[in-house]
Chains A and B, each alone.
Chain A
């Protein structure tokens, strides 16, 4: 066997295309080893700044709705808008070219530049031109291309692909840029600070701006009514690119077109706030080219009237537009909020969580849409944690796009007898029996849970038997370093049957129904029972559903047909409880998220979807709501001072719990009864359901978790030991793995204060 390549020797370009799984694995090793600190620092800064910036937009939610409507209508009417735009550009005195393919766009631009005998062209940042590999096409005919955005300048020097859609060199630390420039430019100039590096690049580029025969920009938005471009930047290079050289070419995807300049009002604040977290970036240009002739010519040239070309590229976008799922990606305004809020992305960046051009959660749909389906393989790094959904200014459900890509890739991988047999034994829907064994295993976790708890002692001992973990790793890809959750001797359903309700009659009607989600039922029934006891303690009548799968596990594996079957069965099972007026209390937050927002993709009946969403609730929220309505003093009932765990807690809310807005209530309640609660601020623990168990992703999962573990240690260094509390079963497993300590559910903490 060949010796494994040292991660520092892996070149980003070599692993840009991840249609082969090995490239993804190598890219993960390379980014974790080399790029992670810079990526983490930069994305987490963007992420924090975004939360602050959007909070300052008074009508943020209404603005998102307007922006979404504008994009929906624009994409729906795209052919007519493109015709209108062409007429506008021509009326302005510009030229218009609609390129069917990347090559068509490159050829057109090359021909324009050759006709003008252009030797040097300056470029503003354009990820679209990265998609078409424009620089290579121009350099092939002897044209010098000067990337003027400092990040693109770095990438050009390093010969790397972008790692982020708005900050394409964000994987470079200052120290690595210094080393790169010293090596490539062989200079003795001091390059040891950001200022020195910036000055060095600026001096080179200033001469190129003055001497350039043409400038190429992108566009953030284009108005069809007038041919107006909106260009967002901070460095001033786009202003120079668009206003200094005599020829200006703007290249953009057809999805950038909106009806009118007045539509910019829905985006001009939303885009910078969602992107870098600035109220506005330094420069937002609103241009209807061609602009008047430049005031001077490059040395040795005469001043010529300005010439403008708008080059819009299709390159698969029209096909995306027809796609029932992927058309949502065309609404993307490339703000990068979904990248910066994503725990996996924050840890590795776009050279692992990205393809040849596009990166992050939204990048999979773009790589598949403008290239080949398998180029989206890196979208496996989307765990479906859902944190991007509320952050997307256009409300794109990005995990859903990735789950669909996963389904298509499962199908493209093809069927086998083994997969088919495994699928029929474990309960996969017929369409989904093409999925890899690992995916079918995790999707049908409830089956194994049932077998495991039926024969708990046998199952638990056999998972420790020699060779079993190796076999699981080889066949199912379950990492041997992960402690497998022990199967409990009794399921939640069994424990519930054995524990009669308190003698005093339940006073509060109509009571609630607890959903015996399969994760709690077969994995951590004690968390479920604690929730039951807490609710019974305030006098609520509690019933428990049978434990059936909800679709979450299957959905996250891209086994959408299986998820759909399960979601339908779940809705039918819950129907009588809804009709009896009981709220559905859900312990596991990932299942709560199914009922709150994921079901809309799986169930046809919109009324049922809305009813389930409106009536599903997290246990502590239910406790708070019912107690408030019934004027019950929770602090009297659950006095923190009586807890056998002490009063000092470290609480980590589950990713989907926060997306459901069901985290703050838990924290408020714990504090209200007297607990001293320090909370985590990480977006996700890194376990994310099955993700952290997968052999290929174990290191990434633990690297993501490191931020959480660090926050625990920092809190304890400041104020002494704390009891670890988490609402999600994955967070529970991850915290146990990282800290080596017991982790409790908030309801367990509450019931620890009760006299038993």
Chain B
């Protein structure tokens, strides 16, 4: 059996390990049912009173999943430059996640996914439970997730941006100050 098949069957422990590690990296995590309504509710709940929400449409998850969310009037799927730079929240998919480190992997070469995951103070990443792999190194295998990690331009995102350069540890530097991860069961 190939690793790809092995990782397709997601064990509950993998999700639990991922959740614990992501929280240890100071991300927040919510695990929800896989439905357009549940996803819309989860995103909007987290986005709170954001007046604009950047949205990078997915390439791996089905677009229909985001259909309810995308109808919200605050969503900007084709933002202007000004909106890209000055929105309080950005929503992207993550094509993989890592159980041990609580990381999500975001394709920064696909349309505006990189910008929507970088420029807003809050980044909401949506990831399918079956794409959680055990270790960071697994992204560099041909037999994991169809070898996407070997061809894509992507970033492992582990918690919000941070620095210790100004003395104490500060979260929220150039990149997002908060990272919220929605895991689709």
Q: Is B137 within 8 A of A269, CB to CB?
A: yes
The reply on A427 being an interface residue by CB < 8 A is: no
Which residue of A150, A276, A282, A286 contacts B159 across the interface (Cβ within 8 Å)?
A282
Which residue of B81, B108, B156 contacts A243 across the interface (Cβ within 8 Å)?
B108
The interface centre, meaning the residue of B141, B158, B166, B168 with most chain A CB atoms within 10 A of its CB, is: B166
Of the candidate stretches A18-26, A257-265, A631-639, A745-753, the one touching chain B is A257-265
Q: Is B173 within 8 A of A268, CB to CB?
A: no
Q: Which residue of B lies closest to A191 (CB)?
A: B166
The reply on A195 being an interface residue by CB < 8 A is: yes
> CA–CA, A266 to B136, complex, Å?
10
Q: Is A283 within 8 A of B168, CB to CB?
A: no
Which residue of B85, B142, B168 contacts A194 across the interface (Cβ within 8 Å)?
B168
Q: Is A235 within 8 A of B163, CB to CB?
A: yes
Given A210-B85, A281-B158, A292-B109, answer yes or no on A167-B136 (Cβ-Cβ < 8 Å). Answer: no
> CA–CA, A278 to B157, complex, Å?
13
Q: Is A154 within 8 A of B165, CB to CB?
A: yes
Q: Which residue of A lies closest to B142 (CB)?
A: A262
The reply on A284 being an interface residue by CB < 8 A is: yes
The reply on A209 being an interface residue by CB < 8 A is: yes
Q: Which residue of B lies closest to A283 (CB)?
A: B155
What per-residue 1/0 map shows which CB atoms of B120-160 lie under 8 Å from chain A? Answer: 00000000000000011111111000000110111111111
Q: Is A198 within 8 A of B170, CB to CB?
A: yes
Q: Is A235 within 8 A of B161, CB to CB?
A: yes
The reply on B52 being an interface residue by CB < 8 A is: no
The reply on A237 being an interface residue by CB < 8 A is: yes
Cβ distance A154 to chain B, nearest Cβ, rounded Å: 7
Cβ distance B146 to chain A, nearest Cβ, rounded Å: 15
What per-residue 1/0 map shows which CB atoms of A177-196 lie under 8 Å from chain B? Answer: 10000000000000001110
Given A205-B174, A287-B108, answer yes or no on A296-B101 (Cβ-Cβ < 8 Å). Answer: no
Which residue of A56, A174, A262, A265 contacts B166 across the interface (Cβ within 8 Å)?
A174
Cβ distance B149 to chain A, nearest Cβ, rounded Å: 7
Q: Is B173 within 8 A of A198, CB to CB?
A: yes
Given the complex, which residues of B lie within 8 Å of A237, measured CB to CB? 173-174
Q: Is A243 within 8 A of B168, CB to CB?
A: no
> CA–CA, A161 to B115, complex, Å?
32
Given A194-B170, A237-B174, A240-B174, answer yes or no on A282-B141 (Cβ-Cβ < 8 Å). Answer: no
Which residue of B100, B108, B154, B163 contacts A150 across the interface (Cβ within 8 Å)?
B163
Cβ distance B32 to chain A, nearest Cβ, rounded Å: 24
> CA–CA, A151 to B165, complex, Å?
5
Q: Is B174 within 8 A of A282, CB to CB?
A: no
The reply on A279 being an interface residue by CB < 8 A is: yes
> CA–CA, A32 to B155, complex, Å?
40
The reply on A372 being an interface residue by CB < 8 A is: no
Q: Is A264 within 8 A of B140, CB to CB?
A: yes
Q: Is B167 within 8 A of A243, CB to CB?
A: no
The reply on B172 being an interface residue by CB < 8 A is: yes
Given the complex, which residues of B lie within 8 Å of A278, measured CB to CB? 158
Q: Is B155 within 8 A of A285, CB to CB?
A: yes
The reply on A236 being an interface residue by CB < 8 A is: yes
Q: Which residue of B lies closest to A229 (CB)?
A: B153
Q: Which residue of A lies closest to B112 (CB)?
A: A295
The reply on B162 being an interface residue by CB < 8 A is: yes
Q: Is A269 within 8 A of B136, CB to CB?
A: yes
The reply on A143 being an interface residue by CB < 8 A is: no
Which residue of A56, A175, A234, A265 contacts B173 across the interface (Cβ within 8 Å)?
A234
Which residues of chain A in 232-252 are interfacial with respect to chain B, using CB atoms and an 8 Å cutoff? Answer: 234-237, 239-240, 243
Given the complex, which residues of B lie within 8 Å of A149, measured CB to CB? 165
Given A235-B161, A280-B158, A282-B162, answer yes or no on A262-B141 (Cβ-Cβ < 8 Å). Answer: yes
The reply on B15 being an interface residue by CB < 8 A is: no
Q: Is A194 within 8 A of B167, CB to CB?
A: yes
What per-residue 1/0 map shows which CB atoms of A205-217 lie under 8 Å from chain B? Answer: 1100110000000
> CA–CA, A201 to B173, complex, Å?
9
The reply on A42 being an interface residue by CB < 8 A is: yes
Q: Is A262 within 8 A of B150, CB to CB?
A: yes
The reply on B47 being an interface residue by CB < 8 A is: no
> CA–CA, A284 to B101, complex, Å?
12
> CA–CA, A177 to B163, complex, Å?
14
> CA–CA, A276 to B127, complex, Å?
27
> CA–CA, A297 to B85, complex, Å?
12
Q: Is B161 within 8 A of A282, CB to CB?
A: yes
Which residue of A194, A240, A264 contacts B169 across the interface (Cβ within 8 Å)?
A194
Given the complex, which residues of B lie within 8 Å of A205, measured CB to CB? 174
Given the complex, which residues of B lie within 8 Å of A56, measured CB to CB? 100
The reply on B36 being an interface residue by CB < 8 A is: no
Given A194-B168, A282-B160, answer yes or no on A236-B175 (Cβ-Cβ < 8 Å). Answer: yes
Other than the known A286-B156, A297-B81, what 6 A-B pairs have Cβ atoms closer than 8 Å?
A150-B165, A175-B167, A239-B155, A240-B118, A268-B137, A284-B155
B interface list, Cβ under 8 A from A:
21, 25, 80-81, 84-85, 98, 100-103, 108-109, 112, 114-115, 118, 135-142, 149-150, 152-170, 172-176
* Subset of 20 A-B contacts with CB under 8 Å: A150-B173, A173-B167, A198-B173, A201-B166, A239-B108, A243-B108, A243-B115, A261-B140, A261-B150, A265-B137, A268-B136, A269-B137, A280-B103, A281-B158, A284-B158, A286-B156, A287-B108, A291-B108, A291-B114, A295-B84
